[in-house]
Chain A
Amino acid sequence: MNRITEKKQLSSDVFRMTFEAPYIAEARKAGQFLIIQLDDNYGERIPLTIADADEAKGTITIIFQAVGKTTLSLAALEEGQAIANVLGPLGTPTHIENWGTAVCVGGGIGVAPMHPIVQAVRKAGNKVITIMGARNRELLILEEEMRRWSDEVIICTDDGSYGRKDLVTAPLKELCDAGVPHIVFAIGPPIMMKFAAETTRPYGVRTMVSLNTIMVDGTGMCGGCRVTVGNDTKFVCMDGPEFDGHLVDFDNMMSRQKAYLKQEAGARDKCGIGRRHDE
């Protein structure tokens, strides 16, 4: 179970990994995610997004950034080794219909979970305009795949090393000004999703964001992932991960993300994996 069949380093800290998970490959739909754990007794359970799946081969592909102890250890696994525990697919699948034109905004590693959504949105007959953002050209992922499934791709980098030197919200605003999008999907760092939602708010364009919060079980049992959406409390693992970005309390969500910052830094320092020599 969960044997890694392919591993590729996409940039200094971003990895793509394909592993055997036939039930998940069969059941997963756009918008859903996984929880993984690397050791029964000592490992932490962390949510990871699904970048792709191959039902025929029974495999799942994830793309992740090695930033914490668990993702650093995951990146250290090699082809042929297995991920101890994988639970999924979790969360409510993306609601898909033919709206007309969908603008899909992916920032950084958030392009990975956007990939299945772009496919599903396109297959439903929508015109798809994809906006991809990254700090620089090296960190841009899945460009080829996104071009394959999009009618148009706009690329933004923070340093201008590729595409426009802009934040993703700039082309998004231009498209809204031109009255293009019937719906917007935005996935990326919380701050990007917050500003994407603020960008579309004056235009009244429905904007779905996909949240990646702290979780333990991923089945609705712990409530650690809860977010404020409008006047309600919602569980990202069950009600989400996608919510109306105009209703999400991003500030609350971002402060909740930092609950264990101190302990997480401690764990990373202790683990010694991926630590650069100059650190």
Chain B
Amino acid sequence: MMSEDQRVEDTTEEHRSAEEIAREARRLWQEYGPRAAEGTLKNRDRRAIPQMAMPAQDPAERRCNQMEVPLGYTEEQARLEALRCLNCPTAPCIAGCPVAIDIPRFLLQAAAGKFQDSINTIKEASLLPAVCGRVCPQESQCMLECTVGKVAKDPMQSVAIGRVERYVADLEREEDRVEVPAVGPDTGFRVGVVGSGPAGLTVAADLRKAGHQVEIFEAFHKPGGVMIYGIPEFRLPKEIVRKEIEGLEKMGVTFHLNFLIGRTRTIEDLIRKDHFDALFIGSGAGLPKFMEIPGENLVGVFSANEYLTRANLMKAYDREHVDTPIYESRVVAVLGGGNVAMDAARMALRLGAEEVHVIYRRTRREMPARVEEVDHAHEEGIRFHFLSSPVEILGDEQGRVRAIRCQRYELGEPDDSGRRRPVPVEGDFFEMTVDTVIPSLGNVANPLIRKTTDNLETNKWGNIVVDEHNRTSLDRVYAGGDIVLGAATVILAMGEGRRAAAAITEDLRSGRWEKKG
């Protein structure tokens, strides 16, 4: 049936069981552990320690369940991996981290088995280590700068910083040692936070620590934003997000769910009627892009947002108990090459699709998805079609998807960014029989707040314009995360949130905004 079956090159190894991986780590630990304790480990020795493989569920099993794919390091693995850090005097990894976590320090502490110290170090800079350890694109951040990877000329060979981060964060949570951060003395200020995704949660935590009253407004019936509706359970267990929310509740942050700013109340209402002293807008980039090709409104075409929201937030995978339906697909085409595309493709597989095809205009090298997600997708049997771009979705007489027509591309001259630009090959088309198409082409800023707030400056893409302290053009109103950056990452949203919270506290203390209420 396939006219084009251009799979990714097989870079992944045979699946190894968690027990086997753990056994090997125990053996290595006997070799390196005592020497590390004596302090006799040389850089040469550290470089000889192989990168610790992440144990994972067997692909044949996991493609039928929603459980998390990577199982997490054992203690020996975490300590061995942390031992690979060379403690370079310049610590280039820190510069690679959007929130500047003191990476060598937390690795040193982890290697020494001081796991509480290690997680405390991370938490000085990051609010959501268990989340970021899982979903950060480490290979283009800290691992890109890591000397170990530089020497190997492969960032994937760097110290697996995120995996150690995940280990120490999980250990603290699983052993129930997570402490609710101390709340400062009441300042009398009230701050409203719009959206409960990574940016909003970070702002809320920092503001509450500073002693302000904090109220979060969330449109959905559950808090967590993209971490709840977008990222699947198999990549980010919802229990982790729930614990983070619980922590904020214990700190005294109030959540208003089913509350859509721009409709239930406007930004102006919150200031004028509800007397908030300051507001932070972290409403995310929630408007799915489509390709604008014929057939996109046929039955069987779903934005990745819709598909994943049905599956994750609405738990449509639990067909026995849940009311929200999800389309019954046999052959699925996912359009795009980012993390969301990988999530949608792998979800479709888990919901029973027989074949899932990812169609991407460039090549594997240019895919914006995390390397690990692409590897996992490939291991699970997702098929990739590179240098191909859909031109039309074809329907049957009932208006349902029956096929997708694509044009082949080739790599042309490099563009301004140095990447070779894909150019269409004239007259070279192919058709695939599919019943479901999931465009995963990213999101643009949701226009609701822009349209319902006078004098709020936005750029030509509809993102809110902020200064270096995340202040918007409106007094008392700050913004951060995807609504400012365009579609970005959890950690960048968190970085924005921290900066905004610091600015809000500073501006309230200094009397920049007169106290309300």
Contacts and interface: CB of A to CB of B under 8 A. Distances in A.
Interface of A: 23-24, 27, 32, 37, 40-45, 69-70, 84-90, 216-224, 226-228, 233, 238, 249, 251-252, 255-256, 258-260, 262-264, 267
A259 B220 CA distance: 23
26 contacts: A42-B322, A44-B324, A44-B325, A69-B323, A85-B257, A86-B258, A87-B219, A87-B221, A216-B314, A217-B219, A217-B229, A220-B287, A220-B448, A221-B286, A222-B303, A222-B305, A223-B287, A223-B302, A223-B303, A228-B297, A238-B447, A249-B297, A252-B399, A255-B398, A255-B399, A262-B328
Interface of B: 219-222, 229, 257-260, 263-265, 286-288, 290, 292, 296-300, 302-303, 305-306, 309-310, 314-315, 321-328, 398-400, 446-448
B207 to A, nearest CB: 23
A41 B315 contact: yes
Contacts of B400: 255
B297 A220 contact: no
A37 B290 contact: no
A262 to B, nearest CB: 8
Given A44-B324, A69-B323, A221-B288, A238 B448 contact: yes
B229, B259, B323 — most chain A CB neighbours (10 Å): B323
A256 B299 contact: yes
A86 B321 CA distance: 21
Contact of A90 (B221, B260, B286, B324): B260
Contacts of A256: 297, 299, 399
Contact of A255 (B221, B286, B296, B299): B299
B286 A37 contact: no
A264 B299 contact: no
Contacts of A223: 287-288, 290, 302-303, 305-306
Nearest to A225: B306
A69 to B, nearest CB: 6
The 4 closest A-B pairs by CB, nearest first: A255-B399, A263-B325, A222-B306, A44-B323
A170 B108 CA distance: 82
B263 A88 contact: yes
Contacts of A217: 219-220, 229, 309
B288 A87 contact: no
B321 A42 contact: yes
A224 B302 contact: yes
A153 B305 CA distance: 44
Given A255-B398, A255-B399, 18 more contacts: A24-B264, A40-B222, A41-B315, A41-B322, A42-B321, A44-B314, A45-B324, A87-B221, A220-B448, A221-B287, A222-B288, A222-B303, A222-B306, A223-B287, A233-B297, A258-B299, A259-B300, A260-B327
A86 B264 CA distance: 11
A87 B260 contact: yes
B226 to A, nearest CB: 10
Contact of A220 (B265, B326, B399, B446): B446
Contacts of A216: 306, 309-310, 314, 324
Given A27-B263, A42-B321, A42-B323, A222 B309 contact: yes
A18 B326 CA distance: 31
Contacts of B258: 85-87
A50 to B, nearest CB: 12
Contacts of B264: 23-24, 27, 87-89
Contacts of A32: 263
Contact of B297 (A42, A90, A227): A227
Contact of A252 (B257, B297, B306): B297
Residue of B260, B265, B292, B309 with highest tally of chain A CB at under 10 A = B260
Nearest to B319: A263
A228 B296 CA distance: 10
A50 B305 CA distance: 27
A154 B314 CA distance: 43
A76 B292 CA distance: 43
A264 B325 contact: yes
Contacts of A227: 297
B466 to A, nearest CB: 22
Contacts of A226: 297
Contact of A219 (B290, B321, B448): B448
Contacts of A238: 447-448
A238 B262 CA distance: 11
Contacts of A37: 221
Nearest to A85: B221
A239 to B, nearest CB: 10
Contact of B265 (A23, A85, A233, A255): A23
Nearest to A239: B447
B309 to A, nearest CB: 5
Contact of B309 (A90, A221, A249, A264): A221
A249 B297 CA distance: 10
Contact of B299 (A88, A90, A259, A263): A259
A89 B299 contact: no
A70 B323 contact: yes
A251 B397 CA distance: 11
A225 to B, nearest CB: 9
A191 to B, nearest CB: 15
A220 B286 contact: yes
B219 A219 contact: yes
B340 to A, nearest CB: 13
A225 B321 CA distance: 24
Nearest to A86: B258
A218 B310 CA distance: 13
A44 B323 CA distance: 5
Nearest to B296: A233
Most chain A CB inside 10 Å of its own CB: which residue of B222, B292, B296, B305: B305
Contacts of B221: 37, 40, 45, 84-85, 87
Contacts of A43: 323-324
Contacts of B260: 87-88, 90, 218-219
A267 B322 CA distance: 9
A163 to B, nearest CB: 35
Contacts of A262: 328
A4 B340 CA distance: 40
Which of B259, B297, B300 has the most chain A CB atoms closer than 10 A to its own CB?
Answer: B297
A253 to B, nearest CB: 9
A27 B296 CA distance: 34
A221 B299 contact: no
Nearest to A91: B263
Nearest to A89: B263
